[in-house]
């Protein structure tokens, strides 16, 4: 984003986009074509490019300002992954937001947080019943013209305790079935994310199939995949046919004394082979936008899989997929912060600068 903005004073929006895409290629992310909108590999089919407002959350921008920013970047898609981004959820206000995005040529996608009532991530005090929270999301998506309604189950904490992740999956399934008619009437697909170490890809697929893949799909996050012992490319192979939107970031993975460390990284700074990823993405996820959710804060997670107690969290882990993750860790190296990243005493201004970077 910073590289793109630096060019905007010298070029038109279209040329700025070319510069941004070229900079990704220079990082080794992928060889890109550079049309006015969308990007691709050798074929003519282009991938829509966008970002999640969570990437720049420190600015606390509301929907109108985010749309302006997305337009300045010549983005195709803007995923607003929380409901707090709107000044109102009333129909007239959301209609105005939809019209602003349409004028800018930007596809809006709506989202919220957990809709699983038993998850440690669910905020019952704020949202009330999980089914009502899901219905609010669906109504918001419909009013915005969003084809998807992004949400999630919880986090890695939900893998602990009696019943593990399965008891939460069962409760999440009940919520999804309870709002099926509303989603179908709104022509909105509920897009459940593999989030913060909660579900492995195959577990999310089982949830989607049990609920009904005609109205439930996946928000695919390769960064979160690494928190559940998955090589992002394995995650793509399993989830790909169910994906309706994405939250893309790079991840550094390297071996430790007790297992492996994963740290989210800027695009091209981690362990993911983006040329291979994009090529397969185009095959498995046609017409799905490539939405960047880049985490600038140094969030990391160590999977201590060499300690016996670790495996109570993953009692049904699939050995052939885990082997791919171990191979990824063996190839990886400890993450080093990229050159040029803003540093200094903690402050809101520094956080904003790091997110722009």
Q: Is the pLDDT of residue 20 over 80?
A: no
With contact defined as beta carbons under 8 Å apart, do 110 and 150 qualify? yes
Rg (CA), the chain: 20
| Dihedral, CA of residue 246, residue 249, residue 252 and residue 257, to nearest 10 | -50
For 86, the enclosing helix (H) or strand (E) is none
For the segment 49-71, the average pLDDT, to the nearest whole number, is 97
Whole-number pLDDT of residue 38: 60
How far is it, in rounded angstroms, from Cα 271 to Cα 267? Answer: 10
With contact defined as beta carbons under 8 Å apart, do 194 and 223 qualify? no
Residue indicated by tokens 């609010």: 136
Whole-number pLDDT of residue 345: 95
Nearest to 291 by CA among 244, 246, 249, 236: 246
For the segment 188-213, the average pLDDT, to the nearest whole number, is 98
For the segment 211-236, the average pLDDT, to the nearest whole number, is 97
With contact defined as beta carbons under 8 Å apart, do 58 and 355 qualify? yes
With contact defined as beta carbons under 8 Å apart, do 298 and 343 qualify? no
Beta carbons within 8 Å of 5's beta carbon, 6+ residues apart: 16, 356
For the chain, how far is it from start to end, CA to CA, in angstroms?
7
What does pTM read for this prediction? 0.89
For the segment 125-135, the average pLDDT, to the nearest whole number, is 98
Question: What are 91-111's pLDDT values in tens digits?
Answer: 999 999 999 999 999 999 999
Local structure of residue 253 (DSSP, 8 states): E
Nearest to 249 by CA among 355, 339, 322: 355
Would you state the structure tokens that stand for residue 73, as one six-digit string?
A: 């970047």
Nearest to 229 by CA among 331, 333, 335, 324: 324
Instruction: For residue 78, give the 3-state DSSP assignment.
Output: strand
With contact defined as beta carbons under 8 Å apart, do 153 and 188 qualify? no
Instruction: For residue 265, give the 3-state DSSP assignment.
Output: strand
339 falls in which pLDDT band (50, 70, 90)? confident
With contact defined as beta carbons under 8 Å apart, do 262 and 301 qualify? yes
């Amino acid at each position: 984003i910073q590289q793109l903005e630096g060019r905007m004073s010298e070029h038109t929006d279209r040329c700025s986009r070319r510069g941004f895409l070229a900079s990704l290629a220079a990082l080794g992310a992928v060889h890109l074509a550079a049309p006015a909108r969308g990007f691709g590999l050798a074929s003519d089919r282009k991938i829509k490019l966008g970002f999640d407002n969570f990437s720049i959350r420190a600015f606390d921008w509301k929907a109108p300002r985010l749309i302006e920013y997305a337009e300045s970047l010549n983005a195709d898609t803007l995923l607003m992954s929380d409901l707090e981004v709107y000044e109102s959820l009333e129909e007239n206000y959301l209609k105005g937001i939809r019209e602003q995005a349409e004028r800018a040529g930007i596809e809006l996608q709506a989202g919220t947080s957990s809709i699983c009532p038993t998850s440690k991530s669910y905020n019952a005090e704020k949202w009330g019943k999980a089914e009502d929270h899901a219905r609010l999301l669906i109504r918001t998506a419909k009013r915005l013209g969003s084809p998807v309604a992004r949400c999630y189950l919880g986090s890695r904490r939900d893998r602990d305790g009696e019943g593990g992740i399965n008891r939460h999956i069962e409760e999440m399934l009940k919520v999804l079935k309870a709002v099926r008619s509303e989603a179908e009437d709104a022509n909105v697909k509920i897009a459940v994310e593999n989030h913060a170490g909660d579900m492995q890809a195959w577990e999310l697929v089982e949830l989607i199939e049990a609920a009904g893949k005609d109205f439930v799909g996946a928000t695919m996050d390769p960064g979160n995949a690494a928190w559940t012992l998955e090589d992002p490319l394995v995650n793509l192979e399993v989830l790909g046919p169910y994906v309706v939107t994405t939250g893309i970031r790079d991840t550094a993975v390297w071996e430790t004394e007790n297992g492996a460390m994963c740290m989210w990284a800027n695009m091209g700074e981690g362990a993911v082979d983006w040329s291979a990823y994009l090529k397969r993405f185009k095959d498995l996820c046609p017409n799905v936008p490539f939405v960047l959710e880049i985490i600038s804060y140094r969030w990391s997670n160590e999977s201590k899989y060499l300690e016996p107690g670790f495996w109570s969290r993953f009692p049904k882990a699939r050995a052939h997929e885990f082997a791919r993750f171990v191979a990824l860790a063996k190839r990886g190296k400890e993450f080093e912060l990229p050159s040029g990243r803003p540093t200094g005493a903690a402050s809101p201004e520094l956080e904003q600068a790091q997110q722009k970077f």
